[in-house]
Chains A and B, each alone.
Chain A
């Protein structure tokens, strides 16, 4: 029999004596040295499923339930996490049911979606959870059959002993297995034996999505719940007066309340509130600075020209390098604010009671929503529950708790359960944008076209550090100065898919293209030479990136795109490392009837092992479409603290006919998996802009492209073959 020692009591929990039991293995993501265990009835498994987090369950029927703790917003985590567990368990995927876990800070660690970090964080933990359950099932069979555990094999939810010809299902052994103590360490599979990981497993919510089942926060309804919509102030303004007479007169509106700097209309359904909100007469007055886009243009220039920037990195002697340069290249790049605009607008349900609160909705950070509610209500955080619905996109917007806070405040004010719904106009004007940034680049070249000096100064509006000082080309250039300066604005900003790098990568990769042109070098060769130099002699100590992995994706992208082979194709190159993943991209433009036609983007990605090729392709292609869409069209401008673009008629999102063909390739580097939610986005703008330059000699330095004079008569056509 399998003997087990050194079990850590803190992480081990066993409830014995249940007859119709199942095996529950908790993934204790926090420590995960040894898993928790509980025995529960099938009914409990099914009926109380919502009450148990962090557990993998195997019912006597053979049904397996795997809880997925991280919010699902389209990054496919709800499918890929359970795949990893099921792999090590040797489960029959067809018998796995996946449920979204509620917030549970005791059972889960890092229960959030952001930074493309879930998979690298949990990879090991998920594998152990599955492998531990498998170990116990095998041990139970070994006991019952009185054979050595080493002679037992498992496959697709079945247990076999070849010698005796015995076999059993996981369900058969679930109860016996639950009586055995969990080992502290388990052997994980050899990656070459993976059967589920690496295969295209379908989204576990497909059917529910395609048949219109309630899944999202906005789909949540409860008997007796009130609806609310909120009028928020322009940035930098405060309420002077509120006249709600007309709004209150709308049939279906029960109440209008003012809180903080906002006015909420309350009623029993959404439409009356949309009407009432338009009838609210709210007068505002300045509360400090009130800004417009024209102010920002001036502020950028002042910041870049001021000597006040914060030094982020300095290598060598930059002044000397520029003094000795045979050639100096300088350029400035600028991007506007962007809205996240997930298709599902912000919304949240809250029911505040005497000394507790129930929150339900789409959040990337359930823990933040709970902490914030606890603070607002002055009650212990343990008394707040957060149920995570599926998210209709997030892109970083739902990392904030502001919209959940509103629901909490309103529920308390009106003493009733309430769902706050943001209209699209609210969503676009309600803040927390990708910050606007302007970069100034300078490069010093020697007479052989080698980059001997590199300067970057980033000026942002609520961007914090708008540089990533240790990213390439740092480490590859002897003399480097990287600085940033920031303007504090009343316009709120927030992480937006691939924070900072979503624009920095475009600016940097376009600028490096300019430098390569000035040096009369091939853009791919130019980058490879820098990386070889960084490898051989890293400037400033350890590199902030793995030069070999970056070289790997560069070479793969060049090869797969036939880089430089076809004189009729103008190609633009770009490569970027973010969120632990390397992505290189090549955009292809061909001239047809005198017009440039963008036909294809080829991407090479090194995200370590690919868990689910379908999900990975989704993220790479989706990231590219996103990167291209916002580089081409995205623009949020301000007039006296209020966005000019209030809905999708003015705030332009990319459509089907505006995307080129996208070819996706992976570099098998043998590393453990890293995230893919963000890293494919940053390189895209640069690849497209560099191809446009190659084809037309027009350099696009400001986003969105379509609003630049260089773009005006370009007549760019986009095609998919």
Chain B
């Protein structure tokens, strides 16, 4: 067991957990931040995507001990009012079906657009291809990322 101070969504949280616990399960089971989803646990689907110092990472495959003093941002902390351009675009385009994958999609899109604020469709697809959506909302995701780039 280790006592860790994690910087999450602009606040410091202290947790007592085994060092090998993936960040995902610390967020969900220990901190009640359940917006970050579990689906595969092996870095294949992107449902668990969060930002680590602004980079999109798979939180299911990141041991909490390696987070250190890096800043973690989850869907709950992406914007204060839920109005990050990507969230706005998602709402505008009405992207979700079941919605389970969408927090991960949004977090990936937000990190991507920060790096590439005016992407081509090909670039959008290359960036978003790592996130699975079992409901098949891919057409709307492309559209929403392109839209968010214009907000």
A contact residues vs B (CB 8 Å cutoff): 73-76, 200, 202-203, 205-207, 209-216, 218-219, 221, 227, 251-252, 269-272, 274-275, 341-345, 390-395, 423-424, 614, 618, 621-626, 629, 647-649, 653-657, 659, 662, 720
A205 partner residues in chain B, CB cutoff 8 A: 96, 99
- Give 27 CB contacts A-B under 8 Å: A73-B98, A203-B96, A203-B99, A209-B102, A211-B82, A212-B76, A218-B37, A221-B29, A271-B25, A274-B41, A342-B134, A343-B47, A343-B132, A343-B134, A345-B39, A393-B97, A424-B39, A621-B136, A621-B139, A624-B136, A625-B136, A647-B44, A648-B42, A648-B132, A656-B128, A657-B125, A720-B139
Q: Beta-carbon contacts of B114-136 to A below 8 Å, as 1s and 0s?
A: 00000001000110110111111
B39 lies within 8 A of A614 (CB):
no
Known: A211-B87, A274-B41. A393 touches B35 (CB 8 A): no
0/1 per residue, B10-34, Cβ < 8 Å to A? 0000000110111001001110111
A271 and B18: CB pair below 8 A? yes
Among B29, B30, B33, B100: residue with most chain A CB under 10 A: B100
B41 to chain A: closest residue by CB: A424
Q: Which residues of B contact A252 (CB under 8 A)?
A: 18
Which residues 25-80 of B have a CB within 8 angstroms of A? 25, 28-30, 32-42, 44-45, 47, 74-76, 78
Residues of A within 8 A of B17 (CB): 271
Chain A neighbourhood of B128, CB < 8 A: 656
Other-chain residue from A73, A202, A210, A227 in contact with B82 (beta carbon distance below 8 A): A210
Which positions 131-151 of chain B face chain A at CB distance < 8 Å?
Answer: 131-142
In the complex, what distance in Å separates the CA atom of A236 from the CA atom of B44? Answer: 30
Among the listed A200, A621, A653, which residue makes an inter-chain contact with B132, where contact means beta carbons less than 8 Å apart? Answer: A653
A656/B94 in contact, CB under 8 A: no
Q: A200-B94, A653-B134 are in contact. Are A209 and B25 (CB under 8 A)?
A: no
B44 touches A272 (CB 8 A): no
Task: Among B33, B44, B87, B135, point to the contact of A210 (Cβ < 8 A).
Answer: B87
A343 touches B137 (CB 8 A): no
CA distance A214 to B29 in the complex (A): 13
Question: Which residues from chain B contact A654 at a C-beta distance below 8 Å?
Answer: 136
Whether B34 pairs with A656 at a CB distance below 8 angstroms is no
A206 engages B91 (CB within 8 Å): yes
Pick the contact of B76: A211, A227, A275, A629 (CB < 8 A). A211
Q: Which of B39, B76, B96, B101 has the most CB of A within 10 A?
A: B39
Contacts of B139 in A (CB 8 A): 621, 659, 662, 720
**Interface residue? B112 (CB, 8 A):** no
Report the separation of the CA atoms of residues A251 and B17 in the bound assembly, to the nearest whole angstrom. 10
Which residues of chain B have a CB within 8 Å of any CB of chain A? 1, 17-18, 20-22, 25, 28-30, 32-42, 44-45, 47, 74-76, 78, 82, 87, 90-91, 94, 96-103, 106, 121, 125-126, 128-129, 131-142
The interface residues of chain A lying within 8 Å CB-to-CB of B136 are: 621-626, 629, 654, 659
Which A residues are in CB contact (< 8 Å) with B36? Answer: 212
The residue among B125, B129, B138, B141 with the most chain A CB atoms within 10 A of its own CB is B138
Indicate if the CB atoms of A647 and B132 lie closer than 8 Å. no
The residue on B at minimum CB distance from A220 is B34
Complex partner residue of A269 from B25, B78, B90, B135, CB under 8 angstroms = B25
Residue of B nearest to A664 (CB): B139
Asked whether B99 lies within 8 Å of A622 as measured between CB atoms, the reply is: no
Q: Are B125 and A656 interface neighbours, CB within 8 A? A: yes
Complex CA–CA separation, A202 to B103 (angstroms): 18
**Neighbouring A residues of B98 by C-beta, 8 Å:** 73-74, 342-344, 390-394
CB within 8 Å for A210 and B106 given contacts A272-B18, A392-B99: yes
- Please state if A343 and B125 are interface contacts (CB–CB under 8 Å): no
Known: A342-B134, A343-B47. A202 touches B18 (CB 8 A): no
Q: Are A212 and B100 in contact (CB under 8 A)?
A: no
- The distance in angstroms between the C-alpha atoms of A221 and B133, with both chains bound, is 25
Provide the residues of chain A in CB contact with B121, threshold 8 Å. 720
Residue in B82, B100, B133 whose beta carbon sits within 8 Å of that of A344 in the complex: B100
A424 to chain B, nearest CB (A): 5
Instruction: Tell me, in angstroms, the Cα distance from A402 to B132 when the chains sit together.
Output: 26
Given known contacts A221-B32, A648-B42, is B18 in contact with A390 (CB within 8 Å)? no
Contacts A272-B18, A343-B37; is A656 near B101 (CB within 8 Å)? no
Q: Is the CB of B82 within 8 A of A648?
A: no
Which residues does chain A contribute within 8 Å of B106, judged by CB atoms? 210
User: Which single residue of chain A is at the shortest CB-CB distance from B132?
Assistant: A653
Establish whether residues A656 and B138, one from each chain, have CB atoms under 8 Å apart when the complex forms: yes
Inter-chain CA distance A335–B25, complex, in Å, is 37
Residue of B nearest to A655 (CB): B129
Chain A residues near B103 (CB-CB < 8 A) = 209-210, 212
Given A218-B37, A392-B99, A618-B97; A655-B134 close (CB under 8 Å): no
Contacts of B133 in A (CB 8 A): 343, 656
Across-interface contacts of B47 in A (CB, < 8 A): 343
Q: Roughly how many angstroms separate A283 CA and B115 CA in the complex, as a whole number?
A: 51
Question: Residue on B with the closest CB to A72?
Answer: B98
Chain B residue at smallest Cβ distance from A211: B82
**Nearest chain A CB to B61 CB, angstrom units:** 12
- Contact B141 A656, beta carbon cutoff 8 Å: yes
Contacts A74-B99, A342-B98, A655-B138 known; 6 new A-B pairs at CB < 8 A: A73-B98, A74-B97, A203-B96, A275-B20, A648-B42, A653-B132
The 8 Å CB contact of B29, one of A76, A215, A271, A625, is A271
Q: How far is the CB of A496 from chain B (nearest CB, A)?
A: 13
A206 touching B132, Cβ below 8 Å: no
